[in-house]
Amino acid sequence: MNYSTEQTDKTTIVTLSGRFTFGDHSSFRKLIEEIRAHESETQVLDISGVEFIDSAGLGMLLLARDEGEKARASVVLRGAQGQVKRMLEVARFDTLFILED
C-alpha cells in the first residue's frame, strides 16, 4: 500500500493505492498517527487506487473509523472499485462509513 496525505481547510484527504493487506499494518498505524495530528473535522480515505483489500485491510479501515470517532471527525471512504467495492458491500461498510463514488 502506498499513500499520500493532503490537508485542506478542515479536511484531511488520504489517497491510498496498491494492495491493502495484513502486511501494511505498521505503515497504516503510522498513517493513523499522521491523520490524528491534523485534527480535521472530516477524514477522507480515497481508495480509488486500491486494487485489492483483504480482511486485515478491512479491519484497518475500522481502526481508522474508531480513531476518527475519538477525534469527533467524520470518516469517508471514497472511490471504491472492483474487488474492493465488493468487499465493502459484503462487509456492510455502508452502515459504518459514509461511502462516496
38 close to 12: Cβ distance less than 8 angstroms: yes
Q: List strand residue ranges (DSSP E) for 1-101, in order.
A: 2-8, 11-20, 42-53, 74-78, 98-100
pLDDT digits (tens, 9 = 90+) for 63-88: 999 999 999 999 999 999 999 999 99
**Which superfamily, per CATH, for 2-100?**
STAS domain (3.30.750.24)
Question: Can you give the residue ranges of every domain in the chain?
Answer: 2-100
Mean pLDDT of 90-101: 96
Report which of 10, 74, 17, 22 is spatially closest to residue 47, judged by C-alpha positions.
Answer: 17
DSSP-derived letter for residue 10 is: T
pTM: 0.94
pLDDT digits (tens, 9 = 90+) for 26-50: 999 999 999 999 889 999 999 999 9
77 close to 93: Cβ distance less than 8 angstroms: yes
